[in-house]
Amino acid sequence: MKMRRYLALSALLLCSCGTINYTLDGQQYSGAEAFQSASDALQRSTHQELVATMRVPEPISRKSLTIGIPTIETIKGGFVMPNMLKVTPADLIVRDELSKQVRKEYQMFASVIRDTGIYREVKIIDSTGGHLQPTSGESVLYMYVLPQSNAFQWYINGGKTGQQTVNIDRGQPKFLGKATSYINSVKGYALTD
């Protein structure tokens, strides 16, 4: 999943007064505090909706699942920054705020997977974006971040089909639709365990 998705999700404009405006799920927010507050609300409502509509009566997989979420520093490292001599303080603020928002999104995805009961047990860990290895009783789901490349991709491994990418339907107009497609991909993979 390319980081450009987040730049589109969180388009940024600098107004003459120096305030950074962010766009999230079609709504514009003035300043980092309003943006992060809106991001928190979006993650909470998405989590509630997905758990309410996608919870399974019993685990699809008998295996446990470890989900590796990159640290904020790893996420920051995935951004391609323009020529470092031309990076402005606003560029660094934008990168930092987007990194926080992206981390919250990843945490929400992990908690939805845990709370919908798709796997027998779910463990959520911080990772540096590297590869996690499955065992006979455990599958792994992790976000791989290629440093300085704007390349971010979810992978899942441990089922009969081996390592697979987990994609989000970017054709969905709202974040809830994108998140639903992501959880459905994980559910589908759990069937191969």
What is the pTM assigned to this prediction?
0.85
On whether the CB atoms of residues 131 and 142 are closer than 8 A, the answer is yes
Q: pLDDT digits over 126-171, tens only?
A: 987 667 899 999 999 999 988 777 788 999 999 888 899 998 888 8
More confident residue, 190 or 86: 190
pLDDT reading at 25 higher than 50: yes
Please tell me the least confidently modeled range out of 2-16, 34-48, 99-113: 2-16
pLDDT reading at 119 higher than 60: yes
Beta strand residue intervals within 5-60, DSSP E: 12-14, 20-24, 27-30
- The sign of the dihedral angle between the CA atoms of 171, 175, 181, 182 is positive
Q: pLDDT digits over 44-74, tens only?
A: 999 999 999 999 999 999 999 999 999 999 9
pLDDT reading at 113 higher than 90: yes
Spell out the alpha helix ranges (H) of 79-135: 89-116
Residue-range domain boundaries for the chain: 44-190
Hey, is 119 helix, strand or coil?
strand
